Chain A
């Protein structure tokens, strides 16, 4: 129930941010805000019926742990963007592309997706293939050094998920 309420709040917040109609003293805004509440409610009900609020693990906990990870990820993006920019502008084109396999041990699909996205987001590495049987990612790395940080990133995403 808490999850439904949170989803409703997030959707309504999103609606308010995009529309800007929340001045409850004017009649038009009252009507539009009512429409916003109705559509957020409808979306919440529909997604509850489809059932994707139940499939993921401890969503709320994962989201609460998100901000420090995001800050770290931003810093990584800056560092590795600089690295790739140096490679692009270097006269010898200092690259040695490799396909690397890296294992993942997340339990929830959400954290697996966060890890795969983070790998792709940091320049120098792209997730090519997800092998769900061996629980491995196939990663295309621009050079050996860009692939070196993958294990550390895996541990950080694993920490988002928590032990239990």
Chain B
């Protein structure tokens, strides 16, 4: 049982780290502001979800009770609600400011 829990926690953490790294690489590789926000604003959500799940499982191992995992769930829920709103606010500001999104035909041959 302990071993299964260990493996689950490690898998979730590894997957979360992978998405976190993907997010960073995506920000570096994508061509313009709008497309960069895709990995930055959202792969991030997956990352928080996975880390949150890992921490909930880890807290079950110790006898912390529902106060700890309840707070962790709330944390993940708030991250899920607030990060898209922030992302939308930034894109809207950029669009209204007249920034034109990069298109494939702009790419250098």
Residues of A in contact with B (beta carbons under 8 Å apart): 14, 17-18, 20, 74, 77-78, 81, 84-85, 88-89, 93, 95-99, 116-117, 120-124, 126-129, 138, 140, 142
Within 8 A of A (CB), among B1-54: 18-19, 22, 25-26, 29-32, 34-35, 37-39, 41-43, 45-46, 49
Please give me the residue from chain A that is nearest to B81 by CB atom: A117
Complex Cα gap A8–B4 (Å): 40
A/B interface sample: 19 pairs, CB < 8 A: A77-B49, A81-B19, A84-B26, A84-B38, A84-B42, A85-B18, A88-B25, A88-B29, A88-B30, A88-B39, A88-B43, A93-B30, A96-B103, A99-B101, A120-B85, A121-B42, A123-B42, A123-B45, A126-B38
**Given A77-B45, A78-B46, A99-B101, is A126 in contact with B71 using a C-beta cutoff of 8 Å?**
no
Please give me the residue from chain B that is nearest to A78 by CB atom: B46
B108 CB, nearest partner CB in chain A, Å? 13
Closest 3 CB pairs of A and B: A120-B84, A88-B26, A123-B42
Complex Cα gap A88–B104 (Å): 16
Count B interface residues, CB 8 Å: 39
**Given A77-B45, A97-B101, is A18 in contact with B71 using a C-beta cutoff of 8 Å?**
yes
Complex Cα gap A120–B19 (Å): 17
Query: B86-108 vs A: 1/0 string, CB under 8 Å?
Result: 01100110011000011110000
B74 within 8 A of A: yes
Contacts of B96 in A (CB 8 A): 129
Please give me the residue from chain A that is nearest to B80 by CB atom: A121
Contacts of B84 in A (CB 8 A): 116-117, 120-121, 127
**Given A89-B22, A97-B102, is A129 in contact with B95 using a C-beta cutoff of 8 Å?**
yes
A122 CB, nearest partner CB in chain B, Å? 8
**Given A88-B25, A117-B85, A140-B101, is A95 in contact with B30 using a C-beta cutoff of 8 Å?**
yes
Contacts of A14 in B (CB 8 A): 74
Complex Cα gap A128–B91 (Å): 5
Complex Cα gap A122–B67 (Å): 30
Please give me the residue from chain A that is nearest to B46 by CB atom: A81
Complex Cα gap A140–B81 (Å): 19
Contacts of A127 in B (CB 8 A): 84, 88, 91
Contacts of A95 in B (CB 8 A): 30-31, 35, 104
Complex Cα gap A93–B43 (Å): 16
